[in-house]
Amino acid sequence: MENFRRWRQSTRKAAANRFIFVGNAVPQNASPPAEYDRQKFCDNEIVSSKYTALNFLPKNLFEQFRRIANFYFLCIAIIQIVSDSPTSPITSILPLIFVVVVTAVKQGYEDFLRHRNDRQVNEQLIDVVRNGELQKVKSKDIHVGDVLRIEEDDSFPCDLVLLASSYAEGKCYLTTANLDGETNYKMKSCPKLTRDFNDPEKMDRLRAHIQYQQPTVNLYQFVGTLTVYSTRVAPEDSSELLASSDTDGGVASLGLDNLLLRGARLKDTDFVYGCAVYTGQDTKLGLNSLLTNNKFSTVEKSMNYFLLAFLVLLIFEIALCTIQKYAKQPYLADAFYLGELPPTSFGGVMQDLASFLIIFNYVIPISLYVTLEMQKFLGTIFFVWDDDLYCPVADERAVCNTSDLNEELGQVEYLLTDKTGTLTENCMEFRQCSIGGTKYIEEDCVLMRATDNSATSLERVEEFSAEVEDFLITLALCHTVTITGNNKRKKKLRASRTEIIPGMENTAFQFHRGDYDYQASSPDEKALAEACQRLDMVYCGETNDICRVLFQGQERLYSRLHVLEFDSDRKRMSVILQFPDDSIWLLCKGAESAILPRCDFGPVSETESHIKDYAMMGLRTLAIAVRPLSAEDYEEISFQLDQAHQALTDREKKVSEVCDLIESHMTLLGATGVEDQLQDGVPETLESLRAAGIKVWVLTGDKLETAVNIAHSCGHFKRGTELLILSDPEKTEETLENLEKKIIDTRDRHFGMVVDGQCLAVALKQHRDRFSQIARHCEAVVCCRMSPIQKAEVVKLVKGFPGKPITAAIGDGANDVSMIQEAHIGLGLMGKEGRQAVRCADFAFARFRFLRKVLLVHGHWYYWRVSSLVQYFFYKNIAFITPVVFFTIHSAYSTQPVYDPYFLTFYNILFTSLPILIYGLFEQNFTAPQLLEHLHLYKDITKNALMSWGQFFKWNLLGVWHSIVVYFGCLLLWQSDPAFFDSGITLDYWSFGTLIYHAVIFIVSIKLAIESRYWTALFIFSILISVIGFIGLTFLYSGVVFNALDNEQMLFVYVTVLSTGSAWLFTLFSIVTALLPDFIVAVWETYSVGGGVLVNKRHTPGQIVRKKLDRTYSLLSQSRLGKFVISKKRGSSSSERPQPTSYETRRTSNLQTHRETCTESIGQTPCEGPLEV
Q: What is the set of active-site residues?
A: 418
Beta carbons within 10 angstroms of residue 635's beta carbon: 11
**Local structure of 941: helix, strand or coil:** helix
The tally of CA atoms less than 13 A away on the side-chain side of residue 1127 is: 1
Query: Can you tell me the distance from the alpha carbon of 35 to that of 642, in angstroms, rounded to the nearest whole number?
Result: 27
Closest CA to 669 of 436, 431, 447: 436
The upper half-sphere exposure of residue 1100, i.e. CA atoms within 13 Å in the direction of its Cβ, equals 18
Residue 1104: enclosing H or E segment and its boundaries? helix 1101-1112
List residues bridging with 888 in a β-sheet: none
Going by the DSSP 8-state scheme, the letter that residue 183 receives in this structure is E
Closest by CA to 1058, choosing from 1023, 1083, 1032, is 1032
Contacts of 324 (CB under 8 A, 6+ apart): 889, 893
DSSP 23: G
Listed as own residue / partner, the contacts of 740-748 with beta carbons closer than 8 Å and 24 or more positions apart are 740/770, 740/773, 740/774, 743/774, 743/777, 746/722
Helix (H) or strand (E) holding 167: none
Q: Report d(CA 436, CA 1065) in Å as an integer.
A: 96
- The amino acid sitting at 2 is E
The Cβ of residue 3 has, within 10 Å, a number of other Cβ atoms equal to 13
Helical (H) or strand (E) element with 663: none
CB 335: neighbour CB atoms within 10 A?
A: 10
Strands of the sheet containing 224-228, edge to edge, are 17-21, 208-213, 224-228, 250-254
773 phi-psi bin (left φ>0, alpha ψ -120 to 50, beta other): alpha
Coil/strand/helix, residue 52? coil
What's the rounded Cα separation, in Å, for the pair 614 and 618? Answer: 6
* 3-class DSSP state of 983: coil
Q: Which of 522, 513, 506 is nearest to 491 (CA)?
A: 513
How far is Cα 259 from Cα 284, in angstroms, rounded to an integer?
Answer: 11
Q: Return the SS3 of 446.
A: strand
Are the C-beta atoms of residues 877 and 911 closer than 8 Å to each other?
no
- Own/partner contacts of 484-488, CB < 8 Å, gap of 24 or more, are 484/173, 484/185, 484/267, 484/268, 484/517, 484/519, 485/173, 485/268, 486/268, 487/515, 487/516, 487/517, 488/541
Using CB atoms within 10 Å of the CB of residue 12, give its burial: 0 to 12 exposed, 13 to 18 middle, 19+ buried.
exposed
- Distances, alpha carbon 626 to alpha carbons 474, 575, 608, 671, in Å: 8, 10, 17, 12
Distance, CA of 282 to CA of 295 (rounded, Å)? 26
Is residue 1065 packed enough to be buried (19+ CB in 10 Å), middle (13-18) or exposed (0-12)?
exposed
Considering only CA atoms, which of 740, 744, 794, 790 is closest in space to residue 770?
740
Q: What 3-state DSSP class applies to 382? A: helix
Q: Which residues pair with 188 in a beta bridge?
A: 172
What's the CA dihedral at 377, 382, 388, 392 to 10 degrees? 80
